[in-house]
A and B are shown apart, each in its own frame.
Chain A
Amino acid sequence: MIDKETVKHVAKIARINLTEEEIDKFSRQLNDIVEDFKILDELDVENVAPSFHPIRTENVLREDEVKECLKREEIFKIACHKEGDYFKAPKIM
């Protein structure tokens, strides 16, 4: 059951600010959706391996060679916040 408290908790972890109105709306909608997911409980998956990809994928390795990549100025041209040759972020601590 997804109640308002769960929605507030999830929103905090997901870094989404919600208004009281949104909390109301989302707790109703999320509850419906998550209740629907419970149909999977009918399946016996005890000895089933998960498929994180639809097709078998293998680890891809390559030689560690220097190759041309995007130029620094091209990347900084589209930066939201920068100072000199650095991205500028709000304080973390």
Chain B
Amino acid sequence: MDLFEYVTNVKKGKLSALDTVKAAIKKCKELNEKYNCFVTICEEEAIKQAKLADKEKKGLLCGVPITVKDAICVKDVECTAGSKILKGYIPPFDATVIEKLKAQGAVIIGKTTQDEFGFGSFSTNSAYGIPKNPYDISRTAGGSSGGCGSITQLADFPHIGIGESTGGSISAPSFFCGVYGLTPTYGLVSRYGLIDYANSLDKIGPMAKTVDEIALALNIISGNDSKDQTSLNNTKIDYSNYESIKGYTIGLPKQYFENASKEVKEKINEAINVLKKLGVKFIDVDLKLTKYHLSAYYLAAVSEASTNLSKLDGIRYGAKLEFDKDIDFNNYYSNVRSKYFGDEAKRRIMIGTFARMSGFRSQYYLKAMKARTLIINDYKKAFEKCDALLSPTMMYTAPRFDEIAKLDPLQVYQSDLLTVGPNLAGIPMINVPCGFDSNKLPIGFHVLGNHLDEIKILSIAKAYEEATKK
């Protein structure tokens, strides 16, 4: 059922949020056995919230079941960020986005599976089981918000997923699972209550089956927050107040098409033709720094991650070890980290520590930060000539798990080629589903906008959605 219609009916008392939530939880439990979308299904909490929605009958998401990436804190619900080191951590507070969703009557029904701390492209680095692709369970749902992508496609009830992206973790699963996924401008949505991966890169954003649902969610979760010092203080706008895209100029970065598979390119070209018919002008754009995106991004991400993870000490919260009076702090701390961090977390901590180490800092970390300035300028220059950029979101459709297992860590990093640049520049982006390949796996195109141009990329997504509606 249409989400907006559902909300109206719950508010009128014609539909019961409690019945819907109970049915949604039952469905999620069944789906979870096959697709492993959830770390936690929080039935008790959800029923409480659903009863409240039925009683109060208010809010833009009154009684709507919402699933949340496990890296985002929900009061009284275990929050692991996909890592064993946070096993047993039950936050005594709501993240700002959760507070805002609950204030609109939303019902949080579960925490979705992800790569440990977001470290991955295929969700295979999850300590709580690997989420499966809704179209073929031998394939990835993408990472790192993989559980979120999978359940967003599978849900047969009104639903919005809340994901998080550092280098492509909303776009990749949205592409592989065939749903819309919006990564907002850095700072538009508060990060308070998010288990950080990399503070200067992390962005919380919605995943859904329609553009209207994405715009609705963004309207609710965006806005300044005094609890997040990098939160932007811009004027609030209505993201569902779409513009006409007739007369828009969209840039096609030629470097972004070079490595895409033939089938992906074909579908993107069909989508471009649809947009042309709607009055969009396309121009070629030269993003000449594309070949530096991966290195600059990964250096920034691992450097920040390696400092962020130092707060997990086995003393204040999360997993612990017992200690006797003879052990010293450093040994205890090292033992906790070594036992509970997964391989990819260890790898990223090590590279990040190396890149910031005395003698290497200016050669690696600082150089990446300078390269980032050039990369941001490269995008800014492109946006002087066009309203948005368009490219494939990923280079190929969902790979099989046996194919992923053969990749070495560097090859996995390289799969993020098309998403790390915009994430490093903090510009907004949306995956728009636009068809299937010969294996019936979803393909999507990526629309990138200038900082705070969410309305433009949403308008393009909406116009395409309308034009291709069956």
Classify chain B's interface size: 35 or more
List residues of chain B with CB within 8 A of the CB of A52.
Answer: 200, 369
Once the chains bind, are B413 and A33 in contact (CB under 8 Å)? Answer: yes
Contact of B229 among A7, A60, A90 (CB under 8 A): A60
Once the chains bind, are B338 and A17 in contact (CB under 8 Å)? Answer: yes
Fill in one digit per residue for B319-342: 1 if any A CB lies within 8 Å of its CB, else 0. 110010101111111110110010
Once the chains bind, are A10 and B315 in contact (CB under 8 Å)? Answer: no
Once the chains bind, are A49 and B347 in contact (CB under 8 Å)? Answer: no
- Min CB distance B255 to A, Å, is 14
Once the chains bind, are A74 and B185 in contact (CB under 8 Å)? Answer: no
Once the chains bind, are A80 and B350 in contact (CB under 8 Å)? Answer: no
Is B271's beta carbon under 8 Å from chain A? no
Contact of B334 among A7, A17, A51, A89 (CB under 8 A): A17
- Min CB distance B151 to A, Å, is 27
Once the chains bind, are A78 and B92 in contact (CB under 8 Å)? Answer: yes
List residues of chain A with CB within 8 A of the CB of B323.
Answer: 81, 90
User: CA of A57 to CA of B71 in the docked complex: distance in angstroms?
Assistant: 24
List residues of chain A with CB within 8 A of the CB of B287.
Answer: none
User: CA of A16 to CA of B306 in the docked complex: distance in angstroms?
Assistant: 11
Contact of B329 among A34, A49, A75, A89 (CB under 8 A): A89
Once the chains bind, are B408 and A32 in contact (CB under 8 Å)? Answer: yes
Once the chains bind, are B232 and A78 in contact (CB under 8 Å)? Answer: no
Is B66's beta carbon under 8 Å from chain A? no
User: CA of A86 to CA of B313 in the docked complex: distance in angstroms?
Assistant: 15
B89, B338, B341: most-surrounded residue (chain A CB, <10 A): B338
Once the chains bind, are A54 and B364 in contact (CB under 8 Å)? Answer: no
Once the chains bind, are B226 and A16 in contact (CB under 8 Å)? Answer: no
Fill in one digit per residue for A1-29: 1 if any B CB lies within 8 Å of its CB, else 0. 01000110011011111100010001001
List residues of chain A with CB within 8 A of the CB of B186.
Answer: 53-55
Once the chains bind, are A16 and B338 in contact (CB under 8 Å)? Answer: yes
User: CA of A38 to CA of B368 in the docked complex: distance in angstroms?
Assistant: 10
- Min CB distance A63 to B, Å, is 11
Q: A15-B333, A57-B187, A80-B316 are in contact. Are A2 and B229 (CB under 8 A)?
A: no
Residue of B nearest to A38 (CB): B295
Residue of A nearest to B423 (CB): A54
List residues of chain B with CB within 8 A of the CB of A54.
Answer: 186, 200-201, 372, 376, 424-427, 451
- Min CB distance A51 to B, Å, is 4
Residue of A nearest to B321 (CB): A80
Residue of A nearest to B366 (CB): A50
Contact of A53 among B200, B330, B353 (CB under 8 A): B200
Once the chains bind, are A33 and B426 in contact (CB under 8 Å)? Answer: no
Once the chains bind, are B354 and A87 in contact (CB under 8 Å)? Answer: no
Q: A6-B354, A81-B323 are in contact. Are A88 and B315 (CB under 8 A)?
A: yes
Q: A33-B298, A91-B329 are in contact. Are A16 and B341 (CB under 8 A)?
A: yes
B299, B338, B354, B373: most-surrounded residue (chain A CB, <10 A): B354
User: CA of A3 to CA of B2 in the docked complex: distance in angstroms?
Assistant: 58
Q: A16-B334, A29-B408 are in contact. Are A7 and B350 (CB under 8 A)?
A: yes
List residues of chain A with CB within 8 A of the CB of B8.
Answer: none
Contact of B296 among A40, A57, A90 (CB under 8 A): A40
Contact of A80 among B314, B334, B354, B366 (CB under 8 A): B314
User: CA of A43 to CA of B375 in the docked complex: distance in angstroms?
Assistant: 11
Once the chains bind, are A55 and B410 in contact (CB under 8 Å)? Answer: no
List residues of chain A with CB within 8 A of the CB of B330.
Answer: 15
The chain B residues found within 8 Å of chain A, CB to CB, are: 88-93, 185-187, 200-201, 226, 229-230, 232, 289, 291-292, 294-296, 298-299, 306, 310, 313-320, 323, 325, 327-335, 337-338, 341, 346-347, 349-351, 353-355, 357, 364, 366-374, 376, 408-410, 413, 424-427, 451
Of the A-B pairs whose beta carbons lie under 8 Å apart in the complex, a sample of 5, sorted by A's number, is: A10-B350, A29-B409, A53-B200, A79-B317, A90-B329
Q: A26-B350, A74-B92 given; name 5 further pairs at CB < 8 Å.
A: A34-B364, A54-B424, A54-B427, A78-B92, A90-B327
